[in-house]
């Protein structure tokens, strides 16, 4: 029997800079969730305490995954995908509806989001699929297997509906394919196709009314392209914030005001007036719109420091990929980095008006149990790769 010290020995080889950055970002999240909720008088005033519990659970998972040899995931990767697909189907039928979407399954009073597990499953299974020699990817059809792997959970998540989470899968797969040495031509073709689709959707929202199409014909047209009412409204507000400033456009406008009013140094911790006065909606301030709370209270300097911490975290992930002993380890690290970068970029961009509003949280900062644990699980995979890195 191996002693406890021997079993814990791999932890000595962890990337301690990454550990420090993770702990700092989590601490920032807890502080500003408290700031976002401190003016409330109901149970949600204590969300920061629940976040501490989730962070503790996540950190335990983080260390446990770092101790496990990531190569063992080959034995369970596809079972993990099947289990996740079953949960994603189940949520459509028996999921709990919150704010108009079925995204949660309840287990003993605890809500779980299968969509977050789906991202992790695609990264793990994708790393297994892409870890054979690069020459296996000289044939274009092999690339489509990777997109099929991501396409199934994407379609199920979009059905909830949760467009933001569903779109995260595309950059994950694209970056992993690029890193594995897939041919650039089909990848660039896919990127071009994506740009055309985005342009077509924006045009579909902007042009019908200007072309004199009646409301009935517009509704029929949008149903034909499977664009729901709330998605159409969000795109319309993105194109013209004045189209519904007190309705669908409220969150976007107040978020931009909060970020801009922070100035260089901010208004001070727990002194953000947009949040205190309720202009920044309190239902989303501790979750998807936590960045405006931070920006208003810490200003440009605090926001830049937070983004700098994320840059350090992503750099640690890429360094682990560079040091990986094999291709599977490299793909795991690259997939996790792509997931976290996408979340950070889209979350910050939507709060300052660069992209349409989509429900996507800020890693290790936004309130949410499933996302916190899954993110730390994913970061634990990076540490698992790093502690078993090759020696030069």
Any idea what the Cα angle at residue 31 is, between residues 29 and 36, rounded to 5°?
90
107 membership: H or E segment, kind and range = strand 101-107
Q: What is the DSSP letter of 103?
A: E
pLDDT tens, position by position, 212-265: 666 676 676 666 656 666 667 677 766 666 666 666 677 788 888 999 999 999
Burial of 47 by CB count in 10 Å (0-12 exposed, 13-18 middle, 19+ buried)?
buried
279 is written with which tokens?
């202009």
Residue 16 has pLDDT above 80, yes or no: yes
More confident residue, 85 or 139: 85
162 is written with which tokens?
């949760």
Q: What are residue 110's DSSP bridge partners? A: 107
Residue 337 has pLDDT above 80, yes or no: yes
pLDDT tens, position by position, 360-373: 999 999 998 899 99
Model pLDDT, residue 7: 73
Give the span between the Cα atoms of 10 and 360, in whole angstroms.
Answer: 34
Q: What percent of the chain has pLDDT over 70?
A: 81
Three-state DSSP class for 101? strand
Q: In this predicted structure, which of 15-19, 138-142, 214-218, 265-269 has the lowest mean pLDDT?
A: 138-142
Model pLDDT, residue 218: 65
> Which CA distances in Å does 179 have to 54, 332, 390?
32, 11, 19
3-state secondary structure string across the chain: CCCHHHHHHHHHHCCHHHHHHHHHHHHHHHHHHHHHHCCCCCHHHHHHHHHHHHHHHHHHHHHHHHHCCHHHHHHCHHHHHHHHHHHHHHHHHHCEEECCEEEEEEECCEEECHHHHHHHHHHHHHHHHHCCCHHHHCCCHHHHHHHHHHHHHHHHHHCCCCHHHHHCHHHHHHHHHHHCCCCHHHHHHHHHHHHHHHHHHHHHHHHHHHCCCCHHHHHHHHHHCCCCHHHHHHHHHHHCHHHCCCCCCHHHHHHHHHHHHCCCCCCCCCCCHHHHCCCCCCCCCCCCCHHHHHHHHHHHHHHHHHHHHHHHHHHHHHHHHHHCCCHHHHHHHHHHHHHHHHHHHHHHHHHCCCCCCCCCCCCCCCCCHHHHHHHHHHHHHHHHHHHCCCCC
pLDDT tens, position by position, 271-280: 988 888 878 8
DSSP 3-state percent helix, strand, coil across the chain (nearest 5): 70, 5, 25
Residue 105 has pLDDT above 60, yes or no: yes
pLDDT tens, position by position, 318-336: 999 999 989 999 999 999 9
- Are residues 37 and 358 in contact, defined by beta-carbon separation less than 8 angstroms? no
Model pLDDT, residue 181: 82
Note the pTM of the prediction, 2 decimals: 0.90
Model pLDDT, residue 354: 86
Model pLDDT, residue 359: 79
Residue the block writes with tokens 């730390």: 376
> Which CA distances in Å does 356 have to 153, 257, 359?
22, 16, 10
List the one residue out of 168, 18, 88, 120 whose CA is nearest residue 375: 120
Model pLDDT, residue 392: 43
320 is written with which tokens?
């682990």
Model pLDDT, residue 29: 96
Model pLDDT, residue 10: 76
114 is written with which tokens?
């299968």
The average confidence (pLDDT) of the chain is 84
386 is written with which tokens?
């790093």
Taking the mean position of all CA atoms in its chain, how far away is CA 58? 16
279 membership: H or E segment, kind and range = none
346 is written with which tokens?
């889209």
Model pLDDT, residue 285: 86
Q: What are residue 111's DSSP bridge partners? A: 106
pLDDT tens, position by position, 294-305: 999 999 999 999
Mean pLDDT of 86-104: 80
Residue 208 has pLDDT above 80, yes or no: no
pLDDT tens, position by position, 31-86: 999 999 887 766 677 888 999 999 999 999 999 999 999 999 998 998 999 999 99
Give the span between the Cα atoms of 227 and 207, in whole angstroms.
Answer: 14
Residue the block writes with tokens 């700031």: 35
Give the count of beta carbons closer than 10 Å to the beta carbon of residue 281. Answer: 14
List the one residue out of 322, 385, 372 whose CA is nearest residue 120: 372
């Amino acid at each position: 029997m191996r002693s406890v010290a021997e079993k814990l020995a791999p932890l000595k080889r962890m990337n301690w800079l990454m550990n420090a950055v993770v702990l700092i970002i989590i601490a920032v999240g807890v502080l500003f969730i408290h700031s976002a909720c401190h003016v409330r008088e109901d149970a949600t005033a204590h969300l920061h305490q629940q976040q501490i519990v989730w962070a503790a659970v996540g950190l335990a998972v983080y260390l446990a995954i770092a101790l496990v040899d990531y190569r063992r995931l080959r034995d369970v990767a596809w079972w993990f995908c099947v289990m996740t697909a079953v949960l994603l189907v189940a949520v459509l039928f028996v999921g709990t509806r919150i704010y108009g979407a079925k995204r949660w399954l309840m287990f003993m009073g605890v809500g779980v989001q299968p969509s977050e597990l789906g991202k992790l499953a695609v990264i793990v299974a994708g790393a297994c699929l892409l870890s054979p020699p690069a020459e296996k990817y000289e044939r274009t059809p092999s690339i489509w297997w990777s997109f099929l792997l991501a396409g199934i959970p994407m379609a199920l998540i979009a059905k909830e509906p949760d467009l933001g989470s569903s779109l995260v899968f595309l950059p994950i797969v694209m970056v992993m394919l690029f890193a594995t040495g897939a041919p650039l031509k089909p990848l660039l073709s896919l990127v071009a196709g994506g740009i055309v689709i985005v342009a077509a959707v924006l045009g579909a929202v902007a042009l019908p009314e200007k072309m004199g199409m009646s409301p009935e014909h517009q509704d029929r047209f949008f149903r034909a392209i499977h664009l729901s009412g709330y998605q159409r409204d969000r795109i319309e507000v993105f194109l013209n914030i004045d189209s519904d400033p007190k309705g669908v456009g409220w969150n976007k406008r107040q978020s931009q005001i909060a970020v801009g009013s922070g100035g260089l140094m901010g208004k001070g911790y727990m002194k953000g007036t947009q949040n205190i006065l309720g202009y920044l909606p309190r239902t989303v301030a501790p979750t998807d719109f936590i960045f405006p709370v931070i920006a208003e209270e810490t200003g440009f300097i605090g926001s830049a420091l937070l983004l700098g911490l994320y840059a350090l975290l992503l750099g640690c992930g890429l360094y682990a990929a560079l040091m990986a002993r094999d291709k599977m380890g490299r793909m795991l690290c690259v997939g996790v980095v792509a997931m976290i970068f996408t979340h950070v970029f889209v979350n910050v961009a939507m709060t300052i008006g660069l992209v349409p509003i989509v429900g996507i949280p800020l890693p290790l900062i936004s309130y949410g149990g499933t996302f916190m644990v899954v993110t730390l699980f994913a970061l634990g995979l990076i540490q698992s790769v790093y502690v078993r890195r090759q020696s030069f």
